[in-house]
Amino acid sequence: MPTLRELTRPGETPMIAVESLLHRYGATTVLTLQSWRASAGEHCLILGASGSGKTTLLGIVAGLLRPSEGRVEVAGEGLARLSGPALDRFRGRHIGFVPQKLHLITSLDVAANLVLAQFMAGVAQDRARVREVLAAVGLADRLGAQPAQLSHGQAQRVAVARAVVNRPNVILADEPTSNLDDAHCAATLDLLESQASACGATLVIATHDQRAKSRFATRLELSPGRAS
């Protein structure tokens, strides 16, 4: 079997490289993926119906889950080689994650939610950077607001800001457009693309939303129980 390096075209190091991936919950195989790569700065879409393993794949790339089988490299680092705390540290520095349910910390205000991302990643706490990112997503005047006071759209922008505040190499977004009308859907995708471009990150959006399909040239289609 060829190694990842051999599969990669010369001169191009993939930001994300997945090989012979298989993940099981108990006896059920929830994800199989033969090979998938995304290069630096690329914006791509993972499409698939519910239960096709999109969230599982994002979890594995983010280092939140260890796959049952297969190899995953992110930014040239083999995730299987990293110990638990090292993997946590790696995730904090290199990966920005926007979960489907945004999960802002309700005990902290908007700015503190972003400072928390810096604190948990173990990077310097930079209030100027927090203001800059919140201004970039159009929330310059909501720094002291409580998450409960925000509209869904505003909360989503805070979640995106939280994902990009540490200038990650990879931004992963799980179903960002579900339950949004067409206008908000487009605005959310615009926001994710512009923020990813702003920090030169690879953007991976997992969705079953067909409206997103036309915007992205690079697409990975997942279907349950079948190798892609």
Q: Is 186 in the site for other proteins (CB under 8 A)?
A: no
Give me the amino acid identity at 7. L
b or e along 148-163 (b: 16 or more beta carbons within 10 Å of the residue's beta carbon)?
A: eebeeebbbbbbbbbb
Q: Which helix (H) or strand (E) holds 64?
A: none
Binding range to other proteins, per CB under 8 A, among 5-13, 37-45, 108-116, 188-196 = 108-116
Q: Is residue 84 within the footprint of other proteins (CB under 8 A)?
A: yes
Rounded to whole angstroms, what are the CA distances from 213 to 13, 93, 180?
Answer: 26, 29, 15
Classified as helix, coil or strand, 163 is helix
Tell me if 112 contacts other proteins by CB under 8 A.
yes
Binding range to other proteins, per CB under 8 A, among 30-38, 88-96, 189-197, 208-216: 88-96
Which of 33, 174, 209, 212 touches other proteins (CB under 8 A)? 174
Q: How many residues sit close enough to other proteins to count as binding (CB under 8 A)?
A: 34
In which region does residue 116 sit, left (phi positive, over 0), alpha (psi from -120 to 50) or beta (all else)?
alpha
Distance CA 73, CA 87 (A): 12
Supply angle C-alpha 203, 4, 78, rounded to 5: 65
| Residue 196 within binding range of other proteins, rule CB under 8 A | no
CB of 97 to other proteins, least distance (A): 5
Q: How far apart are the first and last CA of the chain?
A: 17
Sole window of 33-41, 101-109, 197-205, 219-227 interacting with other proteins (rule: CB under 8 A): 101-109
Q: Does 115 bind other proteins (CB under 8 A)?
A: yes
131 lies in the site for other proteins, by CB under 8 A? no
- Does 88 bind other proteins (CB under 8 A)? Our answer is yes
106 binds other proteins (CB under 8 A): yes
64 touches other proteins (CB under 8 A):
yes
Spatial distance between the Cα atoms of 159 and 185, rounded to a whole number of angstroms = 15
- Token pair, residue 195, equals 């923020």
Least distance from other proteins to the Cβ atom of residue 221, Å: 20
The residues binding other proteins (CB under 8 A) are 55-56, 59, 62, 64-65, 84-85, 88-89, 91-93, 97, 99-101, 103, 105-108, 112, 115-122, 125, 162, 174
